[in-house]
Homo-oligomer: A and B are copies of this chain.
Amino acid sequence: MTENILSNIPTTLPEELTTVLQEGNGVRIERIVSTGHRSPDGFWYDQSEHEWVMVLQGAARLQFGHHVVELVMGDSINIPAHQKHRVEWTSPDEPTV
């Protein structure tokens, strides 16, 4: 009945791992695990969906234009649809969830 989001986290992954935890009514809740992954140079996400992100473990740096935002445990950020962004860095030391 419950699901622990910090369990069953691979320590190395060929690419970012996204798992859908819940979906419906126009909402999707995902767990994203990165083990040092970053967006390719020059790649920008341009999504039709709004995205609200929270870091549960590890650390990440998101780039918005020339601005870089660092996220550590507990940090959240709201990314409105079509706000271009990329994952500039994720921690190589532990999986970032």
Q: Which residues of A contact B (CB under 8 A)?
A: 1-7, 21-22, 24-27, 29, 50, 52, 54, 56, 69, 71-78
Contacts and interface: CB of A to CB of B under 8 A. Distances in A.
Contact of A4 (B52, B56, B75): B75
A6 B74 CA distance: 5
B27 A78 contact: no
Contacts of A25: 26, 50
The quantity of this chain's copies bound in the complex is 2
A78 B76 CA distance: 21
Given A25-B50, A26-B26, A50-B25, A77 B2 contact: yes
A86 to B, nearest CB: 16
